[in-house]
Structure 1
């Protein structure tokens, strides 16, 4: 049977994970989305098919009212969606800020603040028709000028956004009218729609940062378009959000508010769940679910995640400059034993990609020679590097990330067997983030989630500057070539081959060691309805959750 013909535009959309996402050609039009209801305890009406799946499934039984309390053990340093890179921030700010697109759990980028999207035949122009009737939390209506301002701001390296490199292929942003945005690229980028989602792709009112106090104020008052707006951020205590009454999707959110309650550790999260002081928690230690089995009134769900617990190796630091040392470290680590020590095995050992992406994009582990444990080969590599007598190395872990403590002990034992003596240093998250931003990572644990797209996973983190941030000082020309090919390709098969090649280079040169993806274990009280956990671990699902009374 002959292969079906796919035109340039369709191939590009498929490569970006956009087939079937309700995206249209220019001028084809798309009816406005929305829910209708009479407020109070009115039942929600069904959503049009094109918007189904945004933030999770719709529930025809949903009712309005109530404040839902969520336990979190890792508090963000601030709530600035442009300058703060940590997942602890992103997980929460996705409820307050929105981009033109939404990162569906399946890997599809769906229209969000955009109503439709069309791509030129050469892949160099993306035209977005904006959703009508969208307002910011300050009451101002959203226009194309706000979108242009937001994306021009984040892509300007002078403004210091960690997401600047994500927007590096953008040549210009045009606004032919108040409801149309045209993004012109210097080269094709199949992942642009995923870039315009929630991590750094949010839209804020134009000239927000003209005020010198704007950045600090983002931890006091939100200026996004999301379903919830910030009421109060009290560090080491709580983050309180209220329902945004002028949210563009009528009838949502159903909750009157969300209270994120900061807990000192994983044990206190369990106590809060048992005592019903909190309604919902994503367990930092998935094995803790065993302590809650059989607890009346609690529901426990588990799923694969887009999160990875990893070790990052700064390729410009001390002995790590030598690739043979990095290879020796990789061959010395028994990932399964580390995962057992850290989370009682409640996860999936990784190669070079998070668990939820392995089937679609991952290289088979048995094809990657440095994903096995081989202490004898590790010792030989250290001897070749002139380090046969061993050496000392600092391992940095982050206070509050409880899996890191037992993992550090296990890895120290494993590396000592080949002569590497680890000194474990525990630092606060803010200190670690500063080292991350300034590319002074050294040898460190990391814990991060990705959008469900390989470009989003790899490019900003691993591509050399100035196009990427190259946080690990890897500076690998072959990896750059493969990431550029994966970004530009309109052919899904060719795109996958580029990322498979990249993973082989990563395996060979070891800028990072992905240890495991922990299972996403969510625990909720019985009164919580229609909450679905996004595989990133971010709290998207609260936009459609409701409380039964």
Structure 2
């Protein structure tokens, strides 16, 4: 079998080698981070919740991870060799990596972790192409695929519900029951429901020698802090108050009014995490006028996306309708929305809509409610009657993701998928997951993308996907929005990313 070696770790080292901070790092202290929700689980395989990623990715690592630009790079793997036919991946593991229980990581742990994820991981479909996974040497693991999958390393490195490596004895436990024992720079200390979770520096952590600085979810994950306390503070005003009174060092999610109030305050730095998510407007294509292309086109023509985003996220949005973020090699940068009220009225007249009241479901966070309210006003101008139905996220997402009934429109953030890239962004619309009715063209484009190894051809397939989404008004990408993050000036070297990374930072 002929193998092709990917020397990704060396490339990363050359890129990141000169990026070490010029100021002196200081060990010690407890950094307190205000996050909106408690993790539903500390078993990383069992949940894709954002709150879980924020905490679990400090304790767990993966074979491959995403760098700052979301490219898959080695993490617990030292390198990978891929067969000429694209079906066999041989991973060489880094040596001497320790778990938090003192055990040295080996191939058996990697095999057990991947096998566990295949059977019941929160995003098990990511690795459904695996045929077999086996230990093939003292420091090697071999994965054989059923068919070529161009996105395999990207899927393996997904942070959504990470395919984390844990001790084999933990991987033997049922989903949701594994103890939080990983290889990451911080280890679990305590969890108090409705209060906080505390992590401590793992002094036996083995940094990846290929890096000198943090790089996305990979890189040099150096823990300077003694402990990190993640406090669960769901109410925005309470998070801001805790920040301003010095109870927390980092507020992961603030709003524009607080950002403006703190501008120029020497005690804080307000940072933008932008883009952080796409504001997506969904149609229920399984029932009602959402089944009618003329109706969907009328809605797309009627709306002013910038007015919607500008109201929901003042000073914190990008007018960009690509389904991946700027900076991705697959980003097209095209404007696919243009308001044309006259055309909207003409399309509506050709549709099956007869003035009936339609239901717009939204969860109760302010930006989504604001976005839905502006949308309601804009489509009223062409004669579409909308009723807003507001609820908490579990209730609304349960309706929108699982039911064909009880809704016609839904808006929410679409964050991790555009970060991960084309396959992840497309997957939400495959087999009608996001729109409740499959589109055969989208399904075909997704299948072709997964088997296409040529990057140029992949870009063409993704551009065709974006055109199909716009032409058929399968869903409307309103643009990108971000987060304001407020950082105490006692916390040094923090940089916004997909999670609040607490490695590479220190307290003064």
TM-score normalized with structure 1 length:
0.80
- Helix, strand or coil at the partner of 2:45: coil
Deviations 1:53-91 (A, max 9, x none): 89x956772221111111223444444422322323323
Which of 131, 152, 166 does residue 204 from structure 1 map onto?
166
Is the aligned partner of 1:390 residue 2:355? yes
Whether the 8 Å CA contact 1:239–1:261 is kept in 2: the answer is yes
Spell out the pairing of 1:477-492 with structure 2 (5 A cutoff). Answer: 477-492=440-455
What is the CA–CA distance in structure 1 between the aligned matches of 2:53 and 2:324, rounded to whole Å? 18
| 1:395–1:424 Cα contact (<8 Å) kept | yes
Q: Secondary structure at the match of 2:261?
A: helix
Who is 2:286 aligned against?
316
Distance, in Å, in 2 between the alignment partners of 1:440 and 1:84 is: 24
SS in 1 for 2:181: coil
Deviations 1:16-54 (A, max 9, x none): xxx85537xxxxxxxxxxxxxxxxxxxxxxxx9369489
Distance 1:515 1:230, change over 3 A: farther
Superposed counterparts of 1:59-138, under 5 Å: 61-138=24-101
Q: 1:346 aligns with which of 316, 320, 325?
A: 316
Structure 2: gaps spanning 5 or more residues: 209-220
Q: What residue number does 1:455 align with? A: 422
Relative to structure 1, is the Cα distance of residues 125 and 53 closer, same or farther in structure 2, using a 3 angstrom cutoff? farther
CA pair 21-256 structure 1, distance change in 2 beyond 3 A: same
Partner residue, 1:36? none
Conservation of the 8 A alpha-carbon contact between 2:322 and 2:333: no
Is contact 1:530–1:545 with CA below 8 Å preserved after alignment?
Answer: yes
Whether the 8 Å contact between 1:286 and 1:521 is mirrored in structure 2 is yes
The 2-side partners of 1:190 and 1:58 are apart by 36
| Distance of aligned partners of 1:110 and 1:256 in 2 relative to their CA distance in 1, 3 Å threshold | same
Measured in 2, the distance between the counterparts of 1:53 and 1:470 equals 42
Q: What is the alpha-carbon distance in structure 2 between the residues aligned to residue 310 and residue 288 of structure 1?
A: 25
Give the 3-state SS of the residue equivalent to 2:275 in structure 1. coil
> CA offset at residue 107 of structure 1?
2.8
Aligned equivalents of 1:380, 1:501: Cα separation in 2: 26
Matches within 5 A, 1:514-529: 514-529=477-492
Does structure 2 retain, via aligned residues, the 8 Å contact 1:280–1:525? yes
1:301 has 2:271 as partner: yes
Measured against aligned partners, the alpha-carbon deviations of 1:315-356 in whole angstroms (never above 9, x if no partner) come to 224432333333222222211111111111421023132443
In the aligned structure 2, how far is the partner of 1:406 from the partner of 1:313?
18
CA–CA distance in structure 2, aligned partners of residues 172 and 495 of structure 1:
26
Alpha-carbon spacing, 1:50–1:141, altered in 2? closer, same or farther (3 Å): farther
User: SS at the partner of 2:359?
Assistant: strand
Whether contact under 8 Å (2:254, 2:486) holds in the other structure is no
1:412 and 2:373 correspond: no
Return the match for 1:424 from 376, 379, 388. 388
Asked if the contact 1:86/1:433 (under 8 Å) is kept, the reply is no
| Contact persistence 1:252–1:544 (CA under 8 A) | yes
Aligned pairs (5 A) from 1:522-541: 522-534=485-497, 537-539=498-500, 541=501
In structure 2, how many angstroms separate the alpha carbons of the residues matched to 1:143 and 1:435? 43
The residue aligned with 2:305 is 335
Work out whether 1:360 is the aligned partner of 2:322. Answer: no
Cross-structure match for 1:16: none
Residue 292 of structure 1, aligned match among 248, 251, 262: 262
After superposition, the CA RMSD in angstroms is 3.1
Equivalence for 1:193 = 153
2:105 corresponds in structure 1 to 142
1:22 corresponding residue in structure 2: 10
1:257 and 2:227 matched: yes
Cα deviation digits, residues 162-188 of structure 1 (max 9, x gap):
412211222222221342112222333
- SS of equivalent residue, structure 1 residue 183: strand
Partner SS, residue 22 of structure 1: helix
Separation (CA, whole Å) in 1 of partners of 2:404 and 2:495: 37
TM-score by length of 2: 0.86
Q: Aligned partners of 2:8, 2:350: CA distance in 1, in Å?
A: 53
Determine if contact 2:80/2:92 at 8 Å carries over to the other structure. Answer: yes
- 1:172 aligns to 2:138 (yes or no): no
